[in-house]
């Protein structure tokens, strides 16, 4: 791995005001964009078609900018992968130059459709999307988090009756500290953030997605998270 050992000072000391690019303009991406923009960050929402993204997300938040995904990746300091996990690897590998030296927060799960629109088998058994992204982007700091819950919990953990857990996986400690600060902006208390270790630990949290279709079939599309009880 050729990642540099330290991030620019602005990542570590000014996490309260950063340039954040979000790849993917679906429910996950727009939800994160609204909350991060409200927290004071400069947010660009990157879709395959900026015009369609702007029209579809009209009224989401007045301070959010819109661009294509390559421009979004190039101009942001921190990039969030909120694209469909099954196509994320190819999509982000093509942005390797734009992502050099940046933090990539991966919130996606790579699964195959089980036939009824719900997550099925893992695309990378014995590995993880996060590990594949880190291997494909050796000069980028990949951090896995927020992939063990429905999208609405990502920005409102306080709405669950039981405090949820946000897991972190990543090789760079500075990058994880920066991401921890951003999780705070999303409403996560420090005691509910569990650093599991290096990027290989993402295969554990990504495997948690396998429980999701069973929960959704039994209880419907209600907010929940796969959490650690102590």
What are the structure tokens assigned to 109, written together?
Answer: 């799960």
pLDDT in tens, 11-46: 444 446 899 999 999 999 999 999 999 999 999 999
Q: Are 194 and 181 in contact (CB under 8 A)?
A: no
Residue 230's pLDDT band (cuts 50, 70, 90): confident
- Can you give the pLDDT at residue 10? 41
- Can you give the pLDDT at residue 66? 94
Contacts of 3 (CB under 8 A, 6+ apart): 138, 139, 140, 141, 171, 172
Q: Are 87 and 123 in contact (CB under 8 A)?
A: no
Residue 4's pLDDT band (cuts 50, 70, 90): very low
Read off the pLDDT of each residue in 165-175 and give the average, rounded to a whole number.
98
φ, ψ of residue 84 in degrees (nearest 5) = -55, 130
Q: Are 25 and 47 in contact (CB under 8 A)?
A: yes
Q: pTM to 2 decimals?
A: 0.90
Q: Mean pLDDT score of the chain, rounded to an integer?
A: 89
Other CB atoms closer than 10 Å to residue 100's CB: what's the count?
Answer: 14
Q: What is the share, in percent, of the chain residues with pLDDT greater than 70?
A: 87
Could you tell me which residues are beta bridge partners of residue 193? 166
pLDDT in tens, 91-143: 999 999 999 999 999 999 999 977 777 888 999 999 999 999 999 999 999 99
Answer whether residue 56 shows pLDDT above 60.
no
Residue carrying the six token digits 């999509």: 91
pLDDT in tens, 136-160: 999 999 999 999 999 999 999 999 9
Q: What is the share, in percent, of the chain residues with pLDDT greater than 90?
A: 80
- Can you give the pLDDT at residue 27? 95
Q: What is the DSSP string of the chain?
A: ----S---HHHHH-TTS-EEEEE--SHHHHHHHHHHHHTT-EEEEEESSHHHHHHHTTTS-TT-EEEEHHHHHHH-SEEEE-S-HHHHHHHHHTTTTTTTT-EEEE----EEE-SSSSEEEESSTTS-HHHHHHHH-TTSEEEE-S-SB-HHHHT-GGGSSS---EEEEES-HHHHHHHHHHHHHTT--GGGEEEEESGGGHHHHHHGGGGHHHHHHHH-S---B-----
Answer whether residue 51 shows pLDDT above 90.
no
């Amino acid at each position: 791995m050729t990642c540099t050992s330290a991030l620019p000072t602005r990542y570590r000391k000014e996490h309260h005001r950063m340039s954040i690019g979000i790849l993917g303009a679906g429910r996950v991406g727009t939800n994160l964009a609204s909350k991060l923009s409200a927290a004071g960050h400069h947010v660009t929402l990157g879709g395959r078609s900026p015009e369609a993204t702007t029209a579809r997300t009209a009224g989401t938040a007045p301070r959010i900018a819109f661009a294509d995904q390559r421009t979004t990746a190039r101009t942001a300091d921190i990039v969030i992968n909120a694209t469909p996990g099954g196509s994320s690897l190819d999509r982000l590998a093509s942005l390797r130059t734009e992502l050099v030296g940046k933090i990539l927060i991966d919130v996606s799960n790579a699964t195959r459709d089980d036939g009824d629109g719900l997550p099925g088998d893992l695309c990378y058994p014995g590995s993880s999307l996060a590990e594949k992204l880190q291997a494909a982007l050796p000069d980028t700091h990949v951090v896995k988090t927020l992939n063990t819950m429905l999208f609405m919990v990502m920005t409102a953990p306080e709405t669950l009756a039981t405090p949820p857990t946000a897991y972190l996986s990543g090789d760079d400690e500075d990058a994880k500290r920066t991401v921890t600060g951003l999780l705070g902006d999303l409403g996560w208390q420090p005691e509910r953030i569990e650093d599991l270790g290096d990027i290989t630990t993402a295969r554990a949290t990504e495997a948690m997605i396998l429980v999701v279709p069973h929960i959704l079939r039994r209880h419907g599309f209600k907010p929940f998270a796969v959490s650690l009880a102590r």
